[in-house]
Amino acid sequence: MKLLEQIKIGNYTLKNSMVMAPMTRSRANFDGIVGDNTVLYYTQRVSAGLIISEAINISKQAIGSPLTPGIYTSEQISAWKKITQAVHEKGGVIYAQLWHTGRVGHSLVKNGEKPVSPSPLAIEGQQHFTSEGMKDYETPRELSIEEIKNIVQDYKQAAINAMEAGFDGVELHSAFGYLPNQFLAESVNQRNDQYGGNTENRNRFVLEIMQEMIKAIGSDKVAIRISPTSTYNSIIHQNPLEQFTALIEDLNKMPLSYIHIMNVPFPADKFPLYPANSVETFGKLTQHKVIANCGYTKETGEEELEKGIAKLISYGTLFLANPDLPKRFELNAELNQPDRATMYGGQDQGYTDYPFLNQ
């Protein structure tokens, strides 16, 4: 089974080709510090070839949702050290996913500060979870060029902090409508300066972040996640084929660990210019190893690897509910079903109490 075959990523030989996808679990405290139950949560799932952490806020400004972790204070870094050390002691490899939510947030979560965005355009047709329940999205504040440059440096510092915390690499969360993705999309980015107005300018923010992180922590330790067809968080691309082809061509010039492609379904009648399959369309263009993501099963994951474009498959809810997922795939064993009511927030229930096969 290809899913269980070893594979090299960066400087690491992974025990299999199954990746634990990044999943927000909202189990940090109000200061963005993860606790001992998070140490257990990750070490339970160390049979994954690669673990990608939940999205980690790179700064105070980056926070969009309550009880999500950060990596910008010494206390936060120290808490992550416990996790990376425990994962390494059990033979695991773990990358940090670095996160700035941009306009996907609310002032109730940000101590009264408004969310920021490339342009002052609110998310429509959705609400955001806050400490006071679900709220309509606010119109974000447009970032100045100086602020954009500062955020690029925040990503650089977060990558440095991740190395100090013991992570093996970092993944830029440039998908699913968060800040880097907002710069890539015309539906959010309506700037007419060097960060907007055409494909090259819309890609600039992401490419500057990647370049700075590589300079800071070295070759083959930096990766990126993209979602060319996701329409979540009011993201619409006028020509994703042109946009992401140009992005990948520039990423090909960089020494990356991998490119993580979310193959998000979309209504084809509403978006006729969208490629039917992001992994096939954009995976063929990259010189880097491809991790394919979005709703894969054992069977469809194996089929994807057989095609030869993707080299690894990442699993989200299946790893959430099955800490020993590779063993279950190997034995064709029954899978635990995820409890959606306990995915976000709470304590150990739905977090560290999913049974292993031998329990």
Annotated active-site positions, please? 178
CA-closest candidate to residue 325, choices 18, 113, 76 = 18
CA dihedral in degrees (152, 158, 159, 162; nearest 10)? -170
Q: Are 311 and 1 in contact (CB under 8 A)?
A: no
Distance CA 27, CA 29 (A): 7
Residues 6 or more apart whose Cβ sits within 8 Å of residue 266:
229, 230, 231, 274
DSSP SS3 for 76: helix
CA-closest candidate to residue 333, choices 296, 359, 295 = 359
- The angle that helices 145-164 and 199-217 make with each other, rounded to 10 degrees, is 30
Distance CA 122, CA 98 (A): 23
Distances (CA, A) of 113 to 69, 153, 237: 18, 20, 28
Name the burial class of residue 332, with classes exposed (0-12), middle (13-18) and buried (19+) by CB atoms within 10 angstroms of its CB.
exposed
> In whole angstroms, how large is the CA radius of gyration of the chain?
19
CA-closest candidate to residue 237, choices 245, 112, 95, 296 = 245
Q: Residue 86 corresponds to which tokens in the numbers above? A: 């425990």
CA-closest candidate to residue 9, choices 238, 212, 220 = 220
Residues 6 or more apart whose Cβ sits within 8 Å of residue 130:
66, 106, 108, 109
The torsion region of residue 294 among left (phi > 0), alpha (psi -120 to 50) and beta comes to left
Distance CA 170, CA 154 (A): 14
